[in-house]
Amino acid sequence: MNNQNLKNETQIFFRGLQERICVALEKEDGKGVFVKQEWQRDGGGGGRTMVLQEGAVIEKGGVNFSAVEGELPDKIAKALGLNSNHFFATGVSIVLHPHHPWVPIIHMNVRYFETSVDGKTEEQWFGGGIDLTPHYIIPEQAKFFHQQLKNTCDPFGDKLYPEFKKWADDYFFIQHRNETRGIGGIFFDRLKNSDGFSMSDRFEFVKAVGNVFAPTYTKLMALNKDKQFTPEEKNWQLIRRGRYVEFNLVYDKGTKFGLDTNGRIESILMSLPKMASWPYDPQFSEDSKEKKTQNLLKKDMDWLL
Amino acid sequence: MNNQNLKNETQIFFRGLQERICVALEKEDGKGVFVKQEWQRDGGGGGRTMVLQEGAVIEKGGVNFSAVEGELPDKIAKALGLNSNHFFATGVSIVLHPHHPWVPIIHMNVRYFETSVDGKTEEQWFGGGIDLTPHYIIPEQAKFFHQQLKNTCDPFGDKLYPEFKKWADDYFFIQHRNETRGIGGIFFDRLKNSDGFSMSDRFEFVKAVGNVFAPTYTKLMALNKDKQFTPEEKNWQLIRRGRYVEFNLVYDKGTKFGLDTNGRIESILMSLPKMASWPYDPQFSEDSKEKKTQNLLKKDMDWLL
């Protein structure tokens, strides 16, 4: 597949994926409606932000499509080890924050990136991932989630799931808290024409990841949305959301890239929850379900057991 | 004043300042009580965190004293342009988040820092500042606040207030929002034995800054704490707090320094509010008081007019 085709085909796929995911989420939510906003980026390209607020299940959720291009800031080129002065990036980015503390937060990103020097393509790659942040970890649901991801990876080779699962553990890690953001998932970046995979193979894999999102998350919504919950559980949810904010603002590379390339702020920060809380030094007893969840926020957990 | 004296005298002053400020704040709050927590830092030194939660006026406030030392991480030494492998830092750090949307958020920091290479002092300096973040800007109170700071600076030279006021404008700036965090104040860093000032002079100035905090903020509490407010004003407060979180996690050097030097997380992040909000792309009409405040969040405002 030549460059021009990839640039076009990825955009077409991602745009359609955004639509299909929004339809599936609205159906499971039963009340909320995604509001569409098209935007242009100064310097090249634009996107379509779909935001659902105050649904029955989803409190604030964004499903963002973008296809942007322009000058690659020196700072970023250097960080990526590139000589390029131009970039093109397209993808879909999702973060969903539910009302309900027993419904998990989810994040997905799938993206295609290429860079060029004076009009000549330097690099092309795919990146992305899906990770889950339950406020309370339910082992059988963690297993279901990881099994879905493994089933998506396995047709492309046995090594993908273990490798990308580890990558997610390392990436979605809140260093200053010494805890993972949630139960991880898969993460991958700079997947090129390499290791026996063509760019077409990589694209097929990214399509599969994009396509597994909706059935996986709507199932988790359905399993948890009708449970009763207490004010204490709601408080804990707000604290976990605070950690989510910490990760996104301190560590997340996508957020940094957006802020550094003069992206559309409301689209970049739509990942932040409607409400989050930082009480001072909250304490939970060793046998509380809050502490049990916290004790599971570690790298290298095998959720498939 | 020799090094050893400064190390001791700054700690003694800062520890006493922390106590005096807590007493003054408790008196004005009328209900809240500061809870003390002493902590030790792995690697050297420690501190005393004083936290007030759920007072009558203050929802979450921290007044932190620390005196820490240890290995200077290479990353930080490099960022500071130093060869040092050891640092000592002592200071008082304050952030107060009130319940009431008409009472402003305030921040103060005063600190003494020294670095050494193999036991020999390389650099010594003072840093600090006070800045105010009203949820709604009230011009006469902004004037009072800046006048207090100017009155504190002027005995040490006419140039200090304008220079440190500009420094605050540049420092407390949320680049990705293109807005200042609040109405600024004064900010200064690496004040050394230079420009006709001895380290003793610098210390006297820092004492004056520390001492003006309590009378200034308790006056602002008193002026606003009994006003009526609406749910819409409370919502706006939560949005402004969201911006505060963005600044502290994305830009604040003190926060970064704390996270990078393995500081005590709850003390570093006590600057974050009990509750903050990120609704998607909130809109306010051009003649709303929210928009009026937002339009004043600019650098180079002359608040003394």
pLDDT in tens, A89-123: 999 999 999 999 999 999 999 999 999 988 888 89
Residue B300 lies in a domain: no
Q: Which residues of A touch B242 (CB under 8 A)?
A: 272
Mean pLDDT of B24-30: 98
Closest by Cβ to B278, choosing from A37, A250, A272: A272
Tell me what pLDDT residue B246 has. 97
Q: Which residues of B touch A250 (CB under 8 A)?
A: 249-250, 259
Residue appearing with tokens 């939660």: B53
Q: Which of B169-173, B225-229, B255-259 is the least confident region? A: B255-259
Q: Is residue B304 part of a domain?
A: no
What residue in A sits closest to B262 (Cα-Cα)?
A176
Percent of chain B surpassing pLDDT 70: 99
Q: Which residues of B touch A176 (CB under 8 A)?
A: 259, 265, 268
pLDDT category at A44 given cuts 50, 70, 90 is: confident
Asked whether residue A301 is domain-assigned, the answer is: no
Whether the pLDDT of residue A291 is over 70: the answer is yes
A281/B249 CB distance under 8 A: no
Average pLDDT of the segment spanning B104-119: 94
Most distant CA pair in chain A: distance in Å?
61
Which residues of A are catalytic, by number?
107
Q: What's the whole-number average pLDDT of chain B?
A: 94
pTM: 0.94
**Which residues, at least 6 apart from A100, have a Cβ–Cβ distance to it below 8 Å?**
A57, A224, A225, A227, A229
Alpha-carbon torsion B105, B188, B68, B47, what sign? negative
Q: Say how many domains are in chain A.
A: 1
Residues B104-133 have a mean pLDDT of 94
Q: Is B302 contained in some domain?
A: no
- Determine the pLDDT at residue B22: 98
Q: Is the pLDDT of residue B172 over 90?
A: yes
CATH number for the domain that contains residue A90: 3.40.1500.10
How many helical (H) and strand (E) elements, i.e. helices and strands, does chain A have? 9, 10
Residue B267 lies in a domain: yes
A280 and B238 within 8 Å at the Cβ level: the answer is no
CB < 8 Å to B60, chain A: 278-280
C-alpha B200/C-alpha B211 separation (Å) is 16
Q: What is the mean pLDDT of residues B193-211?
A: 95
> Which pLDDT score is estimated for A105?
98
**Tell me, what's the pLDDT at B206?**
98
**A73 band by pLDDT with thresholds 50, 70 and 90:** confident
Give the mutation candidate from B250, B280, B283, B294 for the A interface (greatest A CB count, under 10 A).
Answer: B280
Confirm whether A262 is domain-assigned: yes
Closest in A53, A176, A280 to B259, CB measured: A176
pLDDT of residue A2: 64
Residue B21 lies in a domain: yes
Please judge whether A275 and B238 are an interchain contact, meaning their C-beta atoms are less than 8 angstroms apart: yes
pLDDT class for A217, splitting at 50, 70, 90? very high
Write down how long chain B is.
Answer: 305
**CB contact (8 A) between residue A276 and residue B274:** no
Residue pair B112/B128 in contact (Cβ under 8 Å)? The answer is: no
Contact A266 B277 (CB under 8 A): no
CB B197 within 8 A of CB B137: no
CA distance B148 to chain A (A): 30
Are B275 and A238 an interchain contact pair (Cβ–Cβ within 8 Å)? yes
A36 lies in some domain? yes
pLDDT reported for residue B142: 98
A56/A80 Cα distance (integer angstroms): 41
Identity of the residue in A270, A274, A279 whose CB atom sits nearest the CB atom of B274: A279
Q: Which domain holds residue A20?
A: 3-295
Confidence of residue A49 (pLDDT cuts 50, 70, 90): very high
In 3D space, the residue among A10, A6, A49, A241 whose CA is nearest the CA of residue A135 turns out to be: A241
8 Å CB contact of A250 and B259: yes
Interface of A with B (CB under 8 A): 37, 51, 53, 60, 62, 175-177, 238, 242, 245-246, 249-250, 259, 265-266, 268-270, 272-281
To the nearest whole angstrom, how far is the Cα of B3 from the nearest Cα of chain A?
32
The answer to whether residue A169 scores a pLDDT higher than 90 is: yes
Q: What is the pLDDT of residue B3?
A: 65
Q: Which residues of A touch B37 (CB under 8 A)?
A: 281
DSSP for A100-130 reads STTSPEEEEEEEEEEEEETTEEEEEEEEEEE
Please report the DSSP string for A38-51 in residue order.
Answer: EEE-TTSEEEEEEE
Collect all residues of chain A within an 8 Å Cβ-Cβ radius of residue B268: 176
